[in-house]
Structure 1
Amino acid sequence: MDKKAKQILLKTFWSSQGWKDRPYVYEGEDFVYAKSKGMMFDPLTIHHDEAVRQIVELHEQVTKEKVAKAFLHSLSTRKIHLRSALASWVLTRQFVQHSFESNAGRYTAPANGVAYAMYGDCYVCDSYHIAGLESYTEEDMNVLNFERHKWGGVRLNYLPYVLQDLQLMSKEPELELEVTVADVAIWRQVLAAIESCEPTDAARQLEKRLAGLFPSSKNERDAFMEILASAGILATTKDRPGRGGKNDFFAVVNWRGEDGYSRQAVQDLFGTWM
């Protein structure tokens, strides 16, 4: 990874005071340099059907083993941009080519018959927990890559993010994704921390248990848990409608300590190293 290009990306959106105003147009010497290194991009205009086609095709290049290796490799190295491909891969592992199908009016609340939205606008994408729109015009891919490098990813189930995430993972040299003894030890500690949760513990309590297990900030650990939930590892074992509370969690919002972690998912994804 080119360090200068990464700094250009990060400084475009973030300062010591937090978020900066997003540029209306990406231009200038720094942008051209970061773009040449594959760190920043021109806006994306793409139809839903083409995005789905590309994601399905990417699964022929990006393997389960590669995303699992990248995830584990990130634990000791703090290369957090390598983590979310695990979620992107799992969310779309059964993805099939399909045309956009509107979900308008397809979901109604039993109590009052009022229609509500699901993840996005595509009824088929909803079944994969993917937020898909019919088309994207001048989509800002730079802010998505910024979130990927800053915290490990935020909009994990957003169709353009999944597409970009898998595209970038396909370009990662697999020989550089070495899984060390330290990485596996950290992963085992993470699983032990999940198991140690009290039955009523929610994601915030788990985040505190994860602190100190691997180099990370609070926001990085939040993204880490969202990735685990999106990948089916922090899976809920019962329906908890209306739960969540005052937080920004999404995929992991209804997980509780009594759910533990999915041993089947862990074995499927990481059995080689367990």
Structure 2
Amino acid sequence: MAYEAIRIDIDASTHVATVTLNRPDKLNSFTRAMHRELSAALDEATSAGARALVLTGAGRGFCAGQDLADLDFTPGAMTDLGTLIDEHFNPLVRKLQAMPLPVIAAVNGIAAGAGANLALACDITIAARSSNFIQAFVKIGLVPDSGGTACLPQRIGMARALGLAITGDKLSAEQAERWGLIWQVVDDAELLPAATRLATQLAQQPTRAIAAIKQAMRASTTNTLDQQLDLERDLQRELGMSHDYAEGVAAFMEKRAPRFEGR
């Protein structure tokens, strides 16, 4: 597929895919067309055999959320935001979280609205020191979407989550790290190298197990303890029959580095 608003690069030697939101003049804000391209790029990365993925933004921002110019504000014919979310933003969050490989967000510059929550929907979020996260929805009379009302209180507690959502204030990358909202802050020049190094490291790991870890951790927010114990049992049974488990045990016994294949 030819892309206009997305760039994708897949390094065959490291099995790392880098997907870049590529509307820098619009701070990489989303249009419907961009949603379709990003979904296709994620599918392409998986089908091409990528074992880790980095998601970042071109230019001076990661993503400013929804491009308001792509919406209709004509009285009586205004864009139904529920339909827009149902058709584009929610499927994107679900796809990111269900991908059978680790997904790293490399946040440069501003991450606002759905753009902030897109970064938080990834498995690991690394941010440049100069970047900021903004739950900007309240500024235009809306509620955080793209998983924001779930992710924020789970990670930083209700008091901080409500404060960010109700005020719409900027949260610096360094404060986001201190609060536990994101994984790591790095110097601006180190952002993409750091994300790529981590992705390269994870691509050599048992990615099938990583996918199961993602599934189990996210299920824990709604499961009872009994349900979670059963899920752990079922996942462990499945992984215990995998190539990577056999390889990991063999490597341990033979005192050598394992050669995982993600199967």
> Which TM-score band applies after superposition, normalised by the shorter structure?
under 0.3
Query: Normalised by the size of structure 1, how large is the TM-score?
Result: 0.23
Query: Normalised by the size of structure 2, how large is the TM-score?
Result: 0.24
More contact order relative to length (CA 8 Å, sep ≥ 6): 1
